[in-house]
Structure 1
Amino acid sequence: MELHPKYQIVLVCVLLLPALCFSQGYTYSRATYYSTPDGYGTSTGACGYGDYGRTVNYGMVAGVSGLWRGGAGCGACYQVRCKDSKLCDYSGPMIVTTDFGAGDRTDFIMSLNGFLKLGRDGKASQELKNQGVVDVEYKRVPCTFDGSNVKIKIHESSKYPNYLAIAIIYVPGMNDVVAVEISDNDGKDWKAMRRTFGAVFDLQNTPKGPFKLRVKFSGSYDWVESPKNVIPSYWKNGAIYDTGIHA
């Protein structure tokens, strides 16, 4: 039975639509993995997350190269899926950027936990692992795994009370933090913090707290201020604070 030409066109569109949707909004690249004894991330990642960078997002993390953006890309979330229909999970895992890393034309150097999630089952994951490097496609997605507020950590390099460094460990949504300022007098004046590396911002000759924060997100000229003091007067290294700032 031969279809009328107009129905042939409709049929072709229906058949092609899944393939077109599969790649809509995705960027083609390659991915590989690095090994740690437990398959998690590393505590020495270039974002400055420390041990947090090992287990965040269940250890499904990656070092990136072109997506690094001078450290502003730290904490960004990406949906990553490989392209072999026999081996690869259709959706693929969500991967969090915690490190800088450059490989053989790869945008993602993933923790083993993250890399294995590319596979549709255990056997497929092992085969992908044996390949070492796989073709992938990825797109940025909103970070939603730790609530709706920006979170910070007092970085281990801080020296109370005169030198304060903070790491921006979680930014919800799809924004990057590009600037941070701090105030010790309820927002009446602000002192700029310097990005030292990765997601870490610091301030020399730190005044006595408590402190409010405000941040500037990528794509915006406006500052977003914390609704109340975030960092207490007697802060300690390693402490994590919810800023109350929505991205």
Structure 2
Amino acid sequence: MAVHEVFLILAMAVVVSAIDGTWYDARATFYGDMGGGETMQGACGYGDLIKQGYGLATTALSTALFNEGLSCGACFEIYCSNAPKSCIPKAAPIIVTATNFCPPNYTKTKDIWCNPPQKHFDLSMPMFTKIAYYKAGVIPVRYRRVLCSKRGGVKFEIKGNPNWTLVLIYNVGGAGDVNAVSIKGSNTQWIAMTRNWGQNWQTGTVLTGQSLSFQVTVSDGTKIEFDNAVPAGWQFGQTYDGGKNF
């Protein structure tokens, strides 16, 4: 490890809490432009990342890191490593949230960065150019999982129809990646939800006209209960703030 890499890690240690202190090797590219429009939406189910608070500090993950969508919402600290012609000297590590999937392409014979078993980050262009020169294209990086720092409470966006409730859970702090959700209407007991895709969780129980509570568990096992996070007069398409975060 180069001397400047040791310096960067020590400098960040005072402000970043690592979930796993080990640094792992991977590669990184970028997609989209500096405006980040191409990074909106994506395989995690998040919509307008600017409005949802993620901004452009985001990444798509290769199959080896995506965990079939369960890694959505996880945060990673990343720095460019051992590529003097590509890495910006003394650039501070970036912290990004996983919001999309970088799919494998089995028709290609080169530049197959997102194919298994490779660990790869497809960063937004603004994040890539904080640690490496634009012309580099693809760079070796080192990364580790860190706690997510989010403003405001966990958000619950209610979608679906009267017979099927789909809830997008976002702006999750702490470990960030939601691994289990239960929902409770004011007239029901706790109901375990199943993951539909990304961070969209579903139930077929009729819940219209009831206030809604949630129990949300992230990957490190931490669970928070959000009592009456959604009022009885809720409507499909609306988003509610849980009032607290991990």
Q: Write the deviation string for residues 87-144 of structure 1: whole angstroms up to 9, x where unpaired.
A: 244422211100111451452001112111214xxxxxxxx22121001111112111
Stretches of structure 2 that go unaligned for 5 or more consecutive residues are 11-20, 104-111
Question: How big is the shift at 1:199?
Answer: 0.6
One of 150, 153, 158 as aligned partner of 1:154: 158
- In structure 2, the CA distance between the partners of 1:163 and 1:53, relative to structure 1 (3 Å rule), is farther
Structure 2 vs 1, CA of residues 178 and 193 (structure 1 numbering), >3 Å: closer, same or farther?
same
Bigger share in helix:
1
Where do residues 93-104 of structure 1 align in structure 2 (5 Å cutoff)? Answer: 93-102=94-103, 103-104=112-113
Aligned to 1:145: 150
- Count of residues in correspondence between the two structures: 218
Q: Is the 8 A contact 1:72 1:198 kept in 2?
A: yes
Computed over aligned residues only, the root mean square deviation of the Cα atoms, in angstroms, reads 3.0
**Which protein, 1 or 2, shows the higher relative CO under an 8 Å CA cutoff with sep ≥ 6?**
2
Instruction: Point out 4+ residue stretches in structure 1 off by more than 3 angstroms.
Output: 15-24, 53-57
Could you tell me whether the CA contact under 8 Å between 2:42 and 2:99 is conserved in 1? Answer: yes
CA distance in 1, matches of 2:156, 2:89: 35
Write out per-residue CA displacement over residues 44-84 of structure 1, whole angstroms, 9 at most, x where no aligned residue.
30000112378743312111022212222111111111024
Which residue in 1 is equivalent to 2:73? 75
Contact 1:42/1:51 (8 A) holds in 2 = no
How far did 1:154 drift?
A: 2.4
Which residue of 104, 112, 130 maps to 2:125? Answer: 112
Whole-angstrom distance in 2 between the partners of 1:78 and 1:96: 6
- The AA in structure 2 aligned to 1:202 is Q
CA distance in 1, matches of 2:5, 2:217: 38
The residue that corresponds to 1:204 in the other structure is 204
* Counterpart-to-counterpart distance in 2, 1:132 and 1:141: 25
Is the CA contact 1:42–1:54 (under 8 Å) kept in the aligned structure 2? no
Does 1:34 find its partner at 2:35? no
The 8 Å contact of residues 151 and 171 in structure 1, kept in 2 or not, is answered as yes
Instruction: Quote how far apart the aligned CAs of 1:196 are.
Output: 0.4
* In 1: Cα distance, 2:201 partner to 2:58 partner: 22
- The 8 Å contact of residues 214 and 225 in structure 1, kept in 2 or not, is answered as yes
How far off is 1:25 after superposition? 2.5
| Higher Cα Rg, which structure | 1
Mapped partners of 1:239, 1:98: distance in 2: 21
Kindly indicate whether the alpha-carbon contact (under 8 Å) linking 2:60 and 2:102 is maintained by their aligned counterparts in 1: yes
Gaps of 5+ in 1: 1-14, 120-127
